[in-house]
Chain A
Amino acid sequence: MEFVSPEGLRLDGRRPKELRKLRIKLGSLDGTDGSAFVQLGNTKVLAAVFGPRGAPTGARSSAISCVIAVSAISVQGDRRSKERLGRQATEFSRALTNAMEQLVPADILKNACIDVHVQVLQADGGLFAACANAALLALANAGVPLRDICAACHTGLLESTALVDLSAQESMQQAPQAAILYECRTQSIAIMQTDNKMSTTALEELLELATEGCIALVTAMRQALISSTVQQLSTSAPHASAAQRRD
């Protein structure tokens, strides 16, 4: 199978360094403290945040918890493929929880806890990157301060071409793949996950591309956060501004 045509186009018509279409919707779940819907191509995930709130009595392994739930209807194929994806989701949830513990300042988590729930609605390529982005956006939407603005991105090396943001079809190949969660201010990698064996030069190439992808995603995510905040301010205080004008 040919993943990059002689004209330099991928199967879905994208160029090697082109991300899929990103759609972000913030604060759509009223009952939560913060929420984010992220659609990256055909991958759709919904994240919600409760907290910071008083820690419940009883043992809790950490003050912040992030759980990614994969639903059976979201997965291509039968129930067994859902279980496989569910196990991978548990692994990634753990990594994301660890990363968030470092991102949220310790004084916020004193005597308080934060619960982040991510529901996968439709799984396609780059699923866990989308989950991480949605979870971080939901945290920001809930007003939780973060040490750095981060984004996650998935890359792969197919037919010796580095491709950013793999589709489901591309990520099914036994080719070198790497996904990272990148902190933009400190320019460092919080989570890295690789699949299939690769040379160190291939890894270097993938990481460089993934970093570029993360920076592009962060720009879009920051834009979405700013415009949702502006919108929130303009709808929540119309009478206050009207009163000021009267004065």
Chain B
Amino acid sequence: MAAAEITDSLEADAFKKLYPDQFYARFIADGIRPDGRPLGRARTASIGLGAVSTADSSALVKFGNSTALAGIKLEIMVPKDDTPNQGQLSIAVEMAPMCSPDMRPGRPSDAAQVLVEQLNNALLASAKAVNLDDLCIDPGKAAWVAYLDIYVLDSDGSLADVTLLAAVAALATLRLPHVAVTDGGNVVPSSEAAEAAAPDEMAVEPTKLQLRSVPLALTCGLYKDQLIVGLTAEEEALVATSVTTIVDDQGRLIGQLKAGGRAEMDIARLQDCIEAAKLRYAELAGILQQAITQYDGSG
């Protein structure tokens, strides 16, 4: 009896390895996916804020197995001459060698570069989530440069979605310390400067960086003319094409990327993707809000 069951599960594993497409098709025909989700449901998300205390703010985000760790470190720079009122947000993505068996340490992979481009587009160019003027300390003299580093620790699909949520969560909990620029051009914590001027004044709480909008993403795929929402790495290899849709808190479309693939999509299908992204947005925004409230409450 036990032996029969073991052979069954062995055969299922072998079948999956040898004929991944047929294996998947059998599930999809029944309207369910190998991990038990219906076609239209993305994986459960979890957010851990302040995971790394050496960073100025940080967030660990998981969608199923897909894991991204985002952290921000603040440094001070002299603003560029043509933008004296602006700080800088520098985004980097690193695929940790442990995130998949094929990853080799060394040169940043193309996949990481693509993710950086998508994040730049979502956070700065299109959604303008971060207003660089907010990072200014003293026009022409000093400004913050925020180094946002995202590490993909486990790569199991929908990386654009995971990294964007991690980036947004880290930015939303970033606090800018109060600093003052001395006559000599040095930047000191304003408590010291204030103490020198008026010793009785209390040190002020650091200000929260205000996000001008909150963009979040959802990746959908097309498999045998069915829309599959929230792809795993296995599914990404099987679908004919995939589309990443980014929407913001007011339901506006920030960006949509269909990077080629073996199938075309008509406009109605793309609309379906946008609708799915809006539904997912409500879910993720709730989880994010809850995480932030909890984090602020704990100090």
Contacts and interface: CB of A to CB of B under 8 A. Distances in A.
A115 B97 contact: yes
Given A73-B52, A73-B54, A73-B149, A79 B75 contact: yes
Contact of B98 (A42, A72, A79, A117): A117
Chain A facing B: main interface SS: mixed
Interface stretch (A44-52, A99-107, A172-180, A224-232): A44-52
Given A30-B65, A32-B101, A44-B52, 10 more contacts: A31-B65, A31-B154, A75-B54, A79-B73, A121-B69, A123-B54, A240-B2, A240-B6, A246-B1, A247-B1
Interface of B: 1-2, 5-6, 51-55, 58, 65, 69, 71-73, 75, 94, 96-101, 105, 147, 149, 151, 153-156, 233
Interface string A58-92: 00000000010101111110110000000000000
Nearest to A32: B98
A167 interface: no
A121 B58 CA distance: 11
Contacts of A30: 65, 154, 156
A120 B55 CA distance: 13
A243 B151 contact: no
Given A29-B153, A30-B156, A69 B52 contact: no
A46 B153 contact: yes
Contact of B73 (A31, A67, A72, A115): A72
Given A31-B156, A46-B98, A122 B53 contact: yes
A31 B155 contact: yes
A244 interface: yes
Contact of A73 (B6, B55, B233): B55
Contacts of B72: 73
A29 B62 CA distance: 12
A78 B55 CA distance: 10
B96 A119 contact: yes
A32 B153 CA distance: 11
B52 A67 contact: no
12 contacts: A30-B65, A31-B100, A31-B154, A48-B98, A50-B101, A69-B96, A71-B149, A72-B147, A74-B55, A117-B96, A123-B54, A124-B54
Contacts of A244: 2
A117 B97 contact: yes
